[in-house]
């Protein structure tokens, strides 16, 4: 296994771990965990937006291109929901089960689910890039010394 491939597998593991962390960090670490997860999805959103604006989907095969656009959408939603949950703060005490607390819990769950979906899509895209074709369209010419287009 080359160093480059080893690093790519490490990034895939980190991306998969992000999905688990998106569920656990806000519950275990509270506001700080929510901040960490929201920051992660905002970073993915900005990165994906830059890739889409730069025309990357047109250079990818159909499935990886669609996954990139879907990840951009879920990252945007997760960024908004996570930010709303952060702004809302810790909310009423846990023993309060009134309508306000129920709304807060729904917002938290929606933020957690959309963040987890974003990280899962990101991990799936990373897995596609580790396949032999790496998700790119064939151009007929090879430019890299390892034979990739």
Each residue's pLDDT tens digit, 58-117:
988 888 899 999 999 999 999 999 999 999 875 444 555 667 777 788 999 999 999 999
Closest CA to 137 of 62, 70, 71, 68: 62
User: Burial, 102: exposed, middle or buried (Cβ in 10 Å; 0-12, 13-18, 19+)?
Assistant: exposed
Identify the pLDDT of residue 136: 62
Find the farthest-apart pair of alpha carbons in the chain and give their distance in angstroms, rounded: 64
For the cut 50, the answer to whether the pLDDT of residue 145 exceeds it is: no
For the cut 80, the answer to whether the pLDDT of residue 140 exceeds it is: no
CA gap 72, 45 in Å, rounded: 6
For the cut 80, the answer to whether the pLDDT of residue 135 exceeds it is: no
Q: In this predicted structure, which of 16-20, 61-65, 136-140, 144-148 has the lowest mean pLDDT? A: 144-148
Q: Roughly how many angstroms between the first and final C-alpha of the chain, as a whole number?
A: 20
CB-CB contact of 121 with 71 (8 Å): yes
pLDDT per position as a tens digit, 1-34: 677 777 777 777 877 888 888 889 998 998 999 9
């Amino acid at each position: 296994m080359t160093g480059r491939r080893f690093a790519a597998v490490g990034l895939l593991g980190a991306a998969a771990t992000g999905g688990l962390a998106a569920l656990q960090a806000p519950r275990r670490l509270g506001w700080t965990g929510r901040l960490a997860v929201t920051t992660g999805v905002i970073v993915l959103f900005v990165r994906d937006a830059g890739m889409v604006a730069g025309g990357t989907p047109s250079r990818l095969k159909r499935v990886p291109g669609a996954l990139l656009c879907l990840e951009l959408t879920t990252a945007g939603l997760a960024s908004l929901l996570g930010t709303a949950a952060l702004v809302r703060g810790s909310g009423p005490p846990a023993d309060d089960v009134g309508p306000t607390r129920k709304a807060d819990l729904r917002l938290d769950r929606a933020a957690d689910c959309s963040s987890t979906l974003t990280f899962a899509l990101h991990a799936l895209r990373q897995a596609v890039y580790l396949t032999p074709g790496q998700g790119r369209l064939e151009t007929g010419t090879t430019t890299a010394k390892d034979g990739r287009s």
